[in-house]
Amino acid sequence: MNELAQVAILIGAKGRGSNMRALIQSCMNGEVAAEVRVVVSPSSDSPGALAAESMGVAVATVVPGDNYGDRILKAVNGCDWICLAGFTRLLPINVVHAYEHRILNIHPALLPHYGGKGMYGRHVHEAVIEAGERESGCTVHWVSEAYDEGAIIHQETCPVFPADTAEMLAERVLALEHQAYPRALAKVINGL
Ligand code: GRF
């Protein structure tokens, strides 16, 4: 019997897939007691999809359109957990309901601040710098019906320096994400 939790990762069309790679790696090296069974991608040749394949993980291509949620659920194929990693769309509601408290997302700021519609990529870091924050970080949270509003599972912080550009801050936060996401997944799998 396979005791490892089964995980599906949903990535975006243009995603670099760096969080996806960090999650796959941490499962492969035993840091997280889980197996990434499938990566669901809207395109078969995005950097993320190609990276998943090269790491030996199956890729299911699911293109947005009619019955999008049903087709995502079919691709997820009964996995225990879903991790969103650079998935920028609002997840179809039937997927959210089918996987309540089993879908995680990572956001590159300290929610509940700097989240919501339009708050992605460099927009987040620009807003943090503009507000004069001295600290930023990343948040892993449950996915609910609204953007970035589900309960917080795990946060990690890093400094914001006075001379930071959005790119510099983005790089610092991304490095933090790569350790925070596997930790958060381990935390929920272990029921902590
Ligand atoms: C990350 O910054 C994550 O916080 C956000 O989208 C970005 C995805 O980056 N949700 P990557 O594709 O994992 O490199």
| pTM given for the model | 0.96
176, pLDDT greater than 90: yes
Say which residues have a Cβ less than 8 Å from residue 99's Cβ, sequence separation at least 6. Answer: 76, 82, 143
Half-sphere exposure of 79 (CA within 13 A, CB side): 24
**Tens-digit pLDDT profile for residues 10-43:** 999 877 899 999 999 999 999 999 999 999 999 9
Residue 106 Cβ inside 6 Å of ligand 1? The answer reads yes
Residue 102 Cβ inside 6 Å of ligand 1? The answer reads no
> Catalytic residue among 107, 125, 141, 154, which?
107
What is the atom index within ligand 1 of the atom nearest the CA of 15? 12
**Tens-digit pLDDT profile for residues 44-78:** 999 999 999 999 999 999 999 999 999 999 999 99
2, pLDDT greater than 70: no
Could you confirm whether 107 is annotated as catalytic?
Answer: yes
**Tens-digit pLDDT profile for residues 79-102:** 999 999 999 888 999 999 999 999
Residues 50, 149: Cα–Cα separation, whole Å: 31
Q: Write down the pLDDT at residue 1.
A: 46
Q: Write down the pLDDT at residue 174.
A: 98
Question: Tokens 């924050």 identify what position?
Answer: 133
Mean pLDDT of the chain: 95
Compute CA distances 176 → 2, 40, 84, 158, 169, whole Å.
31, 24, 16, 8, 11
Residues 166, 50: Cα–Cα separation, whole Å: 28
Q: Which helix (H) or strand (E) holds 125?
A: helix 122-130
Q: Which helix (H) or strand (E) holds 104?
A: strand 103-107
133, pLDDT greater than 60: yes
For 132, left (φ over 0), alpha (ψ -120 to 50), or beta? left
